[in-house]
Each structure stands twice: as structure tokens, then as C-alpha cells.
Amino acid sequence: MQQLDVAKAELCALYLGLQSDAGISREQISPLRSGFADRSYVRTVFAMFEGVGYATRQYILAQAAAGRYQISTQERDLLSEQTYVLDSKGNIKNKESFLQFLPGFRLTIHILGRCLGRESYVASAFGHHFYESFQEGIAIRNRVTHPKLTQEFMLSFEEIETVTRAEKWFNSLLADLLGDAFERRSGPVGGDVI
């Protein structure tokens, strides 16, 4: 049971801390100038997306280990970001296999949604027009994080708005799903809600 509490506490603390960072970063943006504050906001928002995505995977794994969520062996291995290889002596070795951000995030949310009986909500969220901003935001983040030209690290007002919509979509999705997950009793999936 302690692993469950640790995973939940870590997810909550990380999400709240990174959400606060994103808010502070957003407040630093000025329509009169573009530059460091804009890039910091984009990077901070995506740090939240990636960090909370990872912590959500750990939470799902802890729930599954406690028998509260049913996930397949393949899902467990993917969420754990582990794969197996053979060494030259024929021994099985565990190897880290990091998920690409977007497919890994979608997998995480789909599994969480299924475990909570919220598949239709998740499908609808990924069909929402703000999800398009989430996808567009990834390209924006990649460009300003790995610029090849000076103009690539400058952001337009529209690009900041795109990332802001992505942040709103993410927060709405996670608030609903995590709120539901945290309200459930410690029994197996399908158990009573407090």
C-alpha cells in the first residue's frame, strides 16, 4: 500500500509544483516583447506535460501492482519504459526504452481512462479542438528547444496562444481523470466511489 501512497503523493506534488511554475512563467510574458520569457513559458509547460505524464505512468503501475488496475504485460512494460534484450551469452537483460512523448502520453491517458471506465471521455478529449493545439505545441516546443536559426527561437503571439490552449486542454483532462482516480476507494477497479 505504501507504493500507492508514494506514487499518488509524487504525482500530486509534481503536478502542483509544475503547474505553479507554468503559471509564474505565463505571468512573465509581455505582449511588448518576445524572447526569453516566451521560450521559458513554452519549456515550462512542456516540462509539466512530460513530468506529469511520467508520474501518471508510475501511478498506474503502482495501482496495477496493488491489483486495483488491470493492465496487460505489454502495457506494463511500455509504461515502465523497459524492454528486454539478450546479451552475447544469451542472458536476458533489462534495457530502458523511453517512449516518444506524444504516443507515450496518449498511451498513458488511454490506459488511465480505461482503468477508470472513462474511455469515452478520453476519446472525446483527444477529439477536442484544443488537442490540436497540444499537437501544434509540440512542434513549437521542439523548435525553440533545438533552434537551428535565430528566427526559430522567436515566438509569435499566436504560438503563445497555441501553447496556452494546449496547457488548458492538458489541465482540464488531468483534473478530471485524476480527480476521478483519487476519489475511488482502495478496492479493485469498478469498486464504489467514496
pLDDT at 9 over 60: yes
Contacts of 182 (CB under 8 A, 6+ apart): 8
pLDDT of residue 104: 96
pLDDT score at 191:
41
Q: Which of 59-73, 77-91, 133-147 has the lowest mean pLDDT?
A: 77-91
Q: What is the mean pLDDT of residues 34-58?
A: 95
In tens, the pLDDT along 177-189 reads 999 999 874 444 4
